[in-house]
A and B are shown apart, each in its own frame.
Chain A
Amino acid sequence: MSRIAATFERLKSEGRKALIPFVTAGDPRPDVTLPLMHALVEQGANIIELGMPFSDPMADGPAIQRANERALANGMSLRKTLDIVAEFRKTNQDTPVVLMGYLNPVEWMGYETFVKAAHEAGVDGLLMVDMPPEEGGGIVDYAKAVGLDLIYLVTPTTTNERFEIICKRSTGWIYYVSLKGITGANTLNVDEVAERMRWIEQHTDIPVCVGFGIRDGETAARVASVCSGVIVGSVLVNAIEKLESESAIEISSQVSKLLGDMRTAMDRA
């Protein structure tokens, strides 16, 4: 069983929901990411979503775009992102790591080389923002061969026909984007999400996690109650930006504390 499947199974048996922080690798500096990942796990992260920096993050809002720019300006690269995951794996063999990003750096490295390197580094899943299932043909066989999960997005504009295609292609979990728009946009409508979740859960057994617009413990808890987990990104990235000039330890401690508050709210619910 994959680390991701095992995580969802364990959480289910405990009656808890997955808390999945997103941070951009190398933001604001490469030395921050490893201690930050460990701190996030200590504060209750069940899976870590690590952004692979890209110069042109078209689906992200200004906050995450600036995170990408900070990381790249400080020398971050796809190779270094994989190195950080390998370092993380030396002391943590349990927490799944999913890489999220845009296709061009992966195409540049080559699908086969990238999938092999990611697997060796201890990466568990991939979420490529600009690779819908229709265009995933180049990577799917390599990913399957090493057991790397391919996670796809479902949005409020996804038709039922497309949803079925996405379900067939998805492994690991399905990422439900709760808003039309870019990351860091408005606050979501929990009732709408709940209604959509009821429909989705009738049509698939794969865990569904919800992201976009989750900014505080209360929203996290309410959304988590209708799905398998929540993804929290912009709130953490905004905090990192404010703490940019602080030490790696200070950033890790303060940013992970935000996540800890969400964990507490979710477990209390």
Chain B
Amino acid sequence: MTTITEDYHAHPDATGHFGPYGGRFASETLMDALDELSAMYTKLKDDPDFRQQFDKDLAHYVGRPSPLYLAERLTKNWGGADIYLKREDLNHTGAHKINNTIGQALLAKYSGKPRVIAETGAGQHGVATATVAARLGLKCVVYMGAEDVERQKLNVYRMRLLGAEVVSVTSGSRTLKDAMNEAMRDWVTNVDDTYYIIGTVAGPHPYPTLVRDFNSIIGREARRQILEQTGELPDALVACVGGGSNAIGLFWEFLNDKGVEIYGVEAGGHGLDGDDHAAPLSKGRPGVLHGNRTYIMANDDGQISATHSVSAGLDYPGVGPEHAWLKDSNRAKYVAITDDEALDAFRELTRTEGIMPALESAHAVAYAKKLAKQLGKGKRIIVNLSGRGDKDVHTVAALDGLSI
């Protein structure tokens, strides 16, 4: 008897579909630009010069490989599985986002377009884009929801120091989804001279694929590192999921390792029983938003819902199409962590290990605490520490009643 095993690396298909998800639900004005981008990426991704330039930038500019760190004290306190932290917070600019912007900036350079645009939620992708734009001398405009501009002031000023123009978006719910709408409008208008650096594994094909590919360095390193350190593969992976770029970056290399359990952690906000969360995979259903079919949060009429999360980077009503497909195919499980649980994890990791995580990453840490107990001693969990928490210090201080 033969067993047919799914090859999880065989997706998407030629037209960008992950099963029923993904695709290219874009307005006609962008279709030619997307075709060109697909053709250029297909050609460059296996081009030795391009690969070499990308690897060189990751090593000498970003500071890769990032460490895989066994958090011994945290492991001891939790009394369960060994916790390994993949330290994406130590990358230049402080998060995994730079992996993707380095890659896409190279694509922008090859395309010859002098202007780049980006959307950003927490500001990490905006900072990473402004950074590579400064380095390459490209004009840079970053769209950011007005609410996020307010709660991520530090990153807004960083982007401005880097020479980027930050546009505060006041339409709709004034968060990440509205920033993405506005960036799409800019791109439709300026498609001839502008490259759109999408920050997550969403958007029309080929974005979910190329953003995944550029971030998959996380999992390639982590897999090699855990084998070096322990001689075995991990029992489980845990990463937070907003659009899902850090998560797919960690997961991808392990997708065909059947023994490795995979957990994506969505923002549970005030709890999944109400409407104040950002957990489309847990509570939404399939629909179409921002150029791809995926799980979405919307009301009975299909109008996109305003979401809530204490972390701006997870505050998004959609999710990358590959996650939608991994959920339906049961390869990955998607769970949720509330604001309060994430804040507790933020404090606990800071006090126990001297590592201050981004509030986004704190969601993954909080779930790892539950999972560590379930799996028990002797098992191994890799948690993607996708970003550092400096940007969130004033949010946490405000919750403590302090103004800093």
Real binding pair: yes
Name A residues whose Cβ lies closer than 8 Å to a Cβ of B: 53-62, 65, 69, 72, 77-79, 102-109, 129-132, 134-135, 152-159, 162, 166, 177, 180-182, 185
In the complex, which residue of chain A has the Cβ closest to the Cβ of B177?
Answer: A56
Q: How far is the CA of A100 from the CA of B298 in the complex (A)?
A: 20
Shortest Cβ-Cβ A-B pairs, 3 listed: A108-B302, A105-B302, A181-B189
Write the chain B residue with the least CB distance to A108: B302
A56 near B26 with CB under 8 A, answer no
Q: Is the interface of A mostly helix, strand, loop or mixed?
A: loop
13 contacts across the A-B interface (CB closer than 8 A): A55-B172, A56-B178, A69-B172, A105-B301, A105-B302, A107-B286, A107-B287, A108-B287, A108-B300, A108-B301, A109-B302, A132-B28, A152-B28
Which residues in A have their C-beta under 8 angstroms from that of B285? Answer: 108
Expressed in whole angstroms, the Cα–Cα distance for A57 and B302 within the complex equals 13
Determine whether the beta carbon of A182 is less than 8 Å from that of B185: yes
Q: Is the interface of B mostly helix, strand, loop or mixed?
A: mixed
- Inter-chain contacts of A185 with B (CB < 8 A): 189
Stretch of B29-37, B58-66, B100-108, B218-226 that contacts chain A: B29-37
Chain B residue nearest to A131 in the complex (CB): B25
Distance between Cα atoms of A153 and B192 in the complex (Å): 19
- In the bound complex, do residue A181 and residue B29 qualify as a contact, i.e. CB atoms below 8 Å apart? yes
Closest B residue, CB atoms, query A75: B301
Using known A-B contacts A55-B304, A157-B191, A159-B32, determine if residue A104 contacts B27 with beta carbons closer than 8 Å: no
CB distance from A79 to the nearest CB of B (A): 7
- Is there contact, CB below 8 Å, between B29 and A105? no
Verify A107–B302 contact, CB threshold 8 A. Answer: yes
From B44-52, B125-133, B289-297, B322-330, give the one contacting chain A: B289-297
How far does the Cβ of A118 sit from chain B's closest Cβ, in whole Å? 14
Q: Which residues of A contact B302 (CB under 8 A)?
A: 54, 78, 104-109
- What sequence of 0s and 1s flags, for each residue 128-152 of chain B, a beta carbon within 8 Å of any chain A beta carbon? 0000000000000000000000000
Q: Report if B244 contacts A (CB, 8 A).
A: no
B350 within 8 A of A: no
Number of interface residues of B (CB under 8 A): 39
Minimum Cβ distance to chain A for residue B346 (Å): 31
C-alpha spacing A180/B172, complex, angstroms: 24
With contacts A134-B15, A185-B189 known, is A157 near B25, CB below 8 A? Answer: no
Q: Which residues of B contact A (CB under 8 A)?
A: 15, 23-33, 35, 171-172, 177-178, 181, 184-185, 188-189, 191-192, 285-291, 293, 296, 298, 300-304
A32 shortest CB reach to chain B, Å: 19
B289→A182 contact, CB < 8 A: no
* Given known contacts A157-B32, A158-B31, A182-B189, A108 and B171 CB-to-CB distance under 8 angstroms: no
Report yes or no: A61 in contact with B185, Cβ–Cβ below 8 A: yes
Across the interface, A104 reaches (CB within 8 A) one of B178, B192, B289, namely B289
Given A59-B188, A157-B32, A108-B298 contact (CB < 8 Å): yes
Write out the residue numbers on chain B whose beta carbons fall within 8 Å of the beta carbon of A65: 171
Q: For residue A109, which residues in chain B have a CB less than 8 angstroms away from its CB? A: 302
Q: Given A59-B185, A104-B302, A105-B303, A177–B28 Cβ distance below 8 Å?
A: yes
Question: How far, in angstroms, from A62 to B155 measured CA to CA in the complex?
Answer: 27
Interface pair B29/A104, CB less than 8 Å apart: no
Specify the chain A residue showing the minimal Cβ separation from B173.
Answer: A55
> A104-B302, A155-B28, A155-B29 known; A56 and B181 CB under 8 Å?
yes
Distance in angstroms from A64 CB to nearest chain B CB is 11
Given contacts A77-B301, A152-B28, A158-B31, contact A135 B287 (CB under 8 A): no
